[in-house]
Chain A
Amino acid sequence: MSNGYKILLVEDEIYLNDLYKLVLEKEGYKVDTAYDGQKGIDLAQENPHLILLDIMLPLVNGIDVLKALKGSNATKDIPVIVLSNLGQDSVVQQAIKLGALEYVIKLQIEPKQIVEKVNKTLGRG
C-alpha cells in the first residue's frame, strides 16, 4: 500500500498524533512519529520527505526545531508544515520567516484537509 513517501510527524498530543498517523498511513505514507522536539530533530536526519511540526513541544520547542532543521545542510531542504494551535501573528511570522512552508491552525482544519495539504505538497494531489 506504501506510496514510497516518508513523513515525520512531530506532535506531543498523543491522540492527535495517533489520528494524524492513522489518516496519513491510510493514504499510503510511511509515518515516523516524535513526541518531543529533540526526537523530532533526531528523526529528521533519516530523510523524511515532509515534516509536520507542532510548536508547543517538550524539550525543544517547534521554533527551535525549525531553526535546527533549517540550519543544517542535511535537513534544510525538507518541506515543513507547521501544525499548531498557537495563533499569534508574531509566532506565525517567525515560523514562516524561518522557512516553514505553511502554518496551519490545527483547530481550524480537519484531518482530511491535512492529508490534502500533504498530498499537494508532495505533488500527489
Chain B
Amino acid sequence: MKPSKFFLLGFREMIPIMSGTLPFAAVMGTVAADAGLSFWRTMSMNMLVYAGAAQLAAVELMTKNAASAVVVLTGLIINLRFLLYSAAMAPTLRQAPRWVQLACAHSLTDQSYAVTSAHQEKTQTNADMLQLYFGASVCMFIFWQLGVMLGYAFGNIAPAELALDYAVPLSFAALVVPTLKNRKYVLVALFSTVLSLCLHGLPYRLGLIATALPSIGLSVWLTRKGQTS
C-alpha cells in the first residue's frame, strides 16, 4: 500500500491532537524512569502494550508490588473499551489479510479511532478508510513513542502554565462533534456525559466502561426498527 491522499488526511488531522498526546506520553516516560525501569524495558512495554492509560496504571501498581493478577486485570479493564473500537473497525477489515487486521488491531487507540470516525464520511471504499486509519495511526505511533522517550530522558518537559493536559479533553470534543449527525447522537453524548459524572467515583477506572456500555445500550434502543435515521 502506498500512501494515498487519505493516508495523508489521517496523518494531518492527527497532528493537532498530538498537542494533548505528547505531554501525556512524556508523563508516561517520566513515571517509567521514576519507577526505575530501564529505557529498554520502558520502550518494550510501550511497543508491546501500546496503551497509555493501562501502562500508567500498571507501572504505578508494579511499583507498589501489587499481585500480577491485579496489575494485569486493572490494565485489561482500562483497555476493555478497545472491544468497541474493534467492533467498529470490523466491517472495514472483513476482506483484509490477517497481517493488516493485526496491524490495525495493535494500533487501535482512542485518538486513531476517533480521527477515523470523524472523517470517514469523506471516504468511499474500505481501502480509503484503511488508508485514513493508518495515516492517523502512524502519526499517533510516532508522536507517542517520541513523547515517551522525551519524558524518559528529560522528565516532564511541558511548561505547567500552558496546561497542556487540557488539550486532551479539547481534542476529544473536537473529535466527537463531527460524529453527532442528529439529535439522537447528541442525546447519547449527553447521556454519556451525565452518567460518567455519576460513576466517576468507581475504582480501577471502571467508570469509563460502566458509562460506555449503557450508552451503547441507549444507541441500540435508538436504532430499533422504525427508528433508523
Whether A and B are associated in the same complex: the answer reads no
Which residues of A approach B to under 8 Å, CB–CB?
none
